[in-house]
């Protein structure tokens, strides 16, 4: 077909499709989902679907139950978001149509989830009953139940659940002080590996973007536990032990989060528990490489995707402030007060913008990350987590 | 009761007037009640769940607190649980405010 004929034919084709399928033209035209995001509205149990290019809300969808501490992962085609609620709700949301396609209550009390690298399994981390449950990503039918049992018949709360390459999930037992790997590579029956005595009261964990390092933060000790998943015999070892030895810890009003841990320029920046500090760790040796004094107790320290900046927010009562760290120089280069309870940040996939939930002013702000200029404000009800679809293609998110 | 000036400075934006700490336990003024309700739902809620059905910290519904006196709940709130993530709220909350929260938790916390 010659080029001109092709153009004509495709124009006709589009017109015909529009005629026979009014639904496709209403409410919008065909579109991709690569620049969409969901924003959790924690108080109303609803979710906003936003267009991050137009800075616009497309849909508000209700009926997600208790969304305090909620999070989301995406299907590989970036069409479906899986929303994990506090009340054990697991909801599959069609972000193109703005409708819930399936919702189950899989436990009494839950804390986030993960999707396997092949996109087929969705796992949920539960406080009650303690353990991890795994579901078919398509149907949300149960696939596996992994009770986090220890000391005979006790059940531990599970935290820090992530996906790892090779159809694996890794999670941490808060009450037991253990890390477990559930390997689903041979089907729907997981092969379990247990690491014991990993430290006192692990409260959260992360996996690095390359899928190599799993790191759990400890509340009961000054230090973290690291497992190198590429080792021939992976084993937990303590890192940054005693980072605050001899100093009095401040009360912790909000547990820091490790997901989105800032990694850049050969350094990790991580929130110190109970201190007004970020710890700087050498990403090669896992040894302390310095500290940065910050405005309050950090909750999130999130790196811009290029690793040049980290944006940091803080626990109550200093949670109205954001600081920006220049990672190469480890200096704070910008500070501003977006408003009360500025609790969640999400960078656009290549980092030109950052989206920020300001819970108590019922707003979501968009900032330019080089000029720090505020570009847009969207109304939202008690907004918290912001999840862009690009997460679909990143390990551990 | 006195408000130490440094804490006062830190908290003045968030906590409103210091007067609150001098009013009696179960009859705080309306704006103080609203502020405390918000604090419990949102900030205690980050560990105990916004509906107080539990999270990293256990549930704080009336049936879960049946065996505790209001006074002992208030002292847990003010002193925290050493070695566990429950922080001491002393310096953030007065004794009267902690008692008000304890009392409301036992009766069923307002929305």
Residue pair A83/A123 in contact by the 8 Å Cβ criterion:
no
Predicted confidence (pLDDT) at residue A242 exceeds the cutoff of 80: no
Residue pair A258/A205 in contact by the 8 Å Cβ criterion:
yes
Task: Give dist(CA B111, CA B107) in Å, integer.
Answer: 12
Task: Give dist(CA A280, CA A270) in Å, integer.
Answer: 7
Task: Give dist(CA A162, CA A148) in Å, integer.
Answer: 16
Assign residue A242 a region (left: φ > 0; alpha: ψ between -120 and 50; beta: otherwise). left
SS3 A10: helix
Predicted confidence (pLDDT) at residue A23 exceeds the cutoff of 80: no
Predicted confidence (pLDDT) at residue A3 exceeds the cutoff of 60: no
Question: Distance, in angstroms, between B77 CA and closest chain A CA?
Answer: 12
What residues of B are in contact with residue A317 (Cβ under 8 Å)?
10-11, 14-15, 92
Residue pair A362/A341 in contact by the 8 Å Cβ criterion:
no
**Of A112-126, A222-236, A367-381, B6-20, which gets the smallest average pLDDT?**
B6-20
Q: Do domains A106-254 and A256-337 have the same CATH topology?
A: no
pLDDT for A76? 97
pLDDT for B18? 37
pLDDT for B29? 87
pLDDT for A253? 82
Predicted confidence (pLDDT) at residue B97 exceeds the cutoff of 50: yes
- Residue A254 touches chain B, beta carbons under 8 Å: yes
- Residue B49 touches chain A, beta carbons under 8 Å: yes
At residue B46 the predicted structure's pLDDT band, cuts being 50, 70 and 90, is confident
Predicted confidence (pLDDT) at residue A373 exceeds the cutoff of 90: yes
Query: What number is the average pLDDT over the span A386-396?
Result: 96
pLDDT for B23? 39
Query: What number is the average pLDDT over the span A363-378?
Result: 98
Q: What's the ipTM?
A: 0.76
User: Among A43, A108, A251, whose Cβ lies nearest the Cβ of B87?
Assistant: A251
Please list the residues that pair with A56 across neighbouring strands: A51
SS3 B76: helix
Query: How far apart, in Å, do the first and last CA atoms of chain A sit?
Result: 44
**Of A3-12, A45-54, A88-97, A162-171, which gets the smallest average pLDDT?**
A3-12
Task: Give dist(CA A363, CA A346) in Å, integer.
Answer: 14
Residue pair B99/B68 in contact by the 8 Å Cβ criterion:
no
pLDDT for A223? 87
| Cβ–Cβ below 8 Å for B53 and A316 | no
A/B interface, count of CB pairs below 8 Å: 72
Orientation of helix B30-39 relative to helix B95-107, angle to 10°? 70
Predicted confidence (pLDDT) at residue A61 exceeds the cutoff of 90: yes
Q: How many domains does chain B have?
A: 1
pLDDT for A2? 43
pLDDT for A246? 54
Question: Distance, in angstroms, between A9 CA and closest chain B CA?
Answer: 56
Question: Distance, in angstroms, between B85 CA and closest chain A CA?
Answer: 7
Residue pair A307/A321 in contact by the 8 Å Cβ criterion:
no
Mean of the per-residue pLDDT values of chain A: 90
- Residue B45 touches chain A, beta carbons under 8 Å: yes
pLDDT for A247? 64
Predicted confidence (pLDDT) at residue A227 exceeds the cutoff of 70: yes
User: Among A128, A252, A316, whose Cβ lies nearest the Cβ of B54?
Assistant: A128
How distant, in Å, are the alpha carbons of A70, A125, A131, A270, A320 from that of A172? 18, 9, 9, 18, 31
pTM comes to 0.87
| B88: closest chain A residue by CA | A251
What residues of A are in contact with residue B56 (Cβ under 8 Å)?
111, 127, 157, 159, 174, 203, 255
At residue A241 the predicted structure's pLDDT band, cuts being 50, 70 and 90, is confident
pLDDT for A324? 98
| A252: closest chain B residue by CA | B87
What residues of A are in contact with residue B46 (Cβ under 8 Å)?
68-69, 254-255
pLDDT for A16? 38
Closest CA to A234 of A198, A259, A262, A264: A198
CATH number at residue B52: 1.10.760.10
pLDDT for A317? 86
pLDDT for A12? 41
pLDDT for A286? 92
Number of neighbours of residue B21 by Cβ within 10 angstroms:
17
| Cβ–Cβ below 8 Å for A157 and B85 | no
| Cβ–Cβ below 8 Å for B49 and A174 | no
- pLDDT tens per residue, range B70-87: 999 999 999 999 989 999
| Cβ–Cβ below 8 Å for B49 and A109 | yes
Question: Distance, in angstroms, between A276 CA and closest chain B CA?
Answer: 14
The domain in which residue B102 lies consists of 2-107
Task: Give dist(CA A271, CA A354) in Å, integer.
Answer: 19
Predicted confidence (pLDDT) at residue B36 exceeds the cutoff of 60: yes
pLDDT for B24? 43
Domain assignments of chain A as residue spans, ordered by start: 106-254, 256-337
| Cβ–Cβ below 8 Å for B43 and A316 | yes
- pLDDT tens per residue, range A281-321: 998 999 999 999 999 999 999 999 999 999 999 988 899 99
pLDDT for A264? 82
| Cβ–Cβ below 8 Å for B56 and A253 | no
| Cβ–Cβ below 8 Å for A341 and B80 | no
| Cβ–Cβ below 8 Å for B53 and A109 | yes
- Residue B85 touches chain A, beta carbons under 8 Å: yes
**Of A5-14, A56-65, A208-217, A249-258, which gets the smallest average pLDDT?**
A5-14
**Of A10-24, A103-117, A263-277, A358-372, which gets the smallest average pLDDT?**
A10-24
- Mutation for A interface: B36, B41, B55, most A CBs within 10 A: B55
- pLDDT tens per residue, range A150-173: 998 999 999 999 999 999 999 999
CATH of A106-254, one of 2.130.10.10, 1.10.357.10, 3.30.70.20, 1.10.10.410: 2.130.10.10
At residue B28 the predicted structure's pLDDT band, cuts being 50, 70 and 90, is confident
CATH of A256-337, one of 2.40.50.140, 3.30.450.60, 2.40.10.10, 2.40.10.480: 2.40.10.480
Question: Distance, in angstroms, between A202 CA and closest chain B CA?
Answer: 11
- pLDDT tens per residue, range A323-344: 999 999 999 999 999 999 999 9
Residue pair A198/A176 in contact by the 8 Å Cβ criterion:
no
SS3 A155: strand
The sign one gets for the Cα dihedral A26, A28, A33, A38 is negative
- Residue A239 touches chain B, beta carbons under 8 Å: no
| Cβ–Cβ below 8 Å for A109 and B54 | yes
What residues of A are in contact with residue B57 (Cβ under 8 Å)?
none
């Amino acid at each position: 077909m010659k080029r001109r004929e092709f153009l004509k034919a495709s124009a006709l084709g589009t017109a015909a499709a529009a005629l026979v399928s009014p639904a496709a033209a209403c409410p919008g035209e065909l579109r991709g989902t690569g620049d969409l995001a969901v924003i959790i509205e924690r108080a109303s149990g609803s979710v906003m679907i936003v267009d991050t290019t137009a800075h616009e809300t497309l849909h508000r969808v209700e009926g997600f139950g208790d969304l305090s501490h909620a999070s989301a992962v995406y299907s590989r085609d970036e069409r479906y978001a899986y929303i994990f609620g506090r009340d054990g709700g697991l909801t599959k949301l069609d972000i193109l149509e703005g409708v819930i396609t399936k919702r189950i209550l899989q436990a009494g009390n839950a804390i986030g989830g993960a999707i396997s690298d092949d996109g087929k399994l969705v796992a949920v981390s539960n406080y009650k009953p303690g353990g991890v449950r795994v579901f078919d990503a398509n149907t949300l039918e149960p696939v596996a139940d992994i009770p986090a049992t220890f000391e005979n018949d006790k059940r531990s709360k599970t935290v820090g659940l992530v996906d790892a390459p090779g159809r694996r999930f890794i999670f941490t037992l808060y009450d037991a002080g253990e890390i477990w790997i559930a390997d689903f590579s041979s089907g729907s029956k997981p092969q379990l590996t247990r690491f014991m005595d990993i430290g006192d009261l692990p409260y959260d964990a992360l996996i690095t973007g390359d899928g190599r390092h799993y790191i759990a933060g400890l509340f009961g000790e000054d230090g973290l536990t690291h497992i190198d998943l590429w080792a021939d015999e992976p084993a937990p070892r303590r890192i940054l032990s005693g980072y605050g030895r001899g100093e009095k810890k401040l009360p912790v009003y909000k547990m820091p989060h490790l997901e989105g841990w800032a990694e850049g320029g050969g350094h990790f920046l991580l929130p110190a528990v109970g201190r007004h500090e970020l710890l700087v760790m050498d990403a090669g040796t896992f040894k302390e490489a310095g500290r940065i004094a910050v405005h309050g107790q950090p909750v999130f320290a999130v790196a811009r995707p290029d690793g040049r900046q980290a944006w940091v927010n803080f626990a109550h009562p200093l949670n109205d402030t954001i600081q920006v760290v220049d990672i190469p120089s480890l200096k704070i280069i910008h500070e501003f007060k977006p408003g009360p309870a500025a609790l969640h940040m999400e960078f656009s996939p290549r980092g030109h913008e950052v989206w920020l939930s300001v819970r108590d002013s019922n707003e979501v702000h968009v900032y330019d990350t080089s000029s720090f200029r505020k570009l847009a404000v969207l109304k939202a009800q008690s907004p918290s987590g912001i999840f862009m679809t690009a997460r679909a293609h990143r390990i551990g998110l | 009761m006195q408000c130490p000036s440094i804490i006062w400075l830190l908290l003045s934006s968030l906590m409103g007037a210091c007067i609150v700490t001098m009013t009696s336990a179960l009859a705080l003024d309306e704006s103080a009640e609203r502020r405390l309700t918000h604090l419990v739902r949102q900030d205690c809620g980050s560990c105990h769940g916004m509906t107080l059905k539990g999270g990293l910290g256990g549930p704080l519904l009336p049936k879960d607190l049946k065996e505790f006196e209001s006074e002992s709940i208030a002292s847990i709130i003010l002193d925290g649980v050493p070695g566990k993530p429950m922080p001491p709220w002393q310096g953030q909350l007065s004794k009267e405010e902690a008692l008000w929260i304890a009392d409301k938790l036992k009766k069923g916390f307002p929305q």
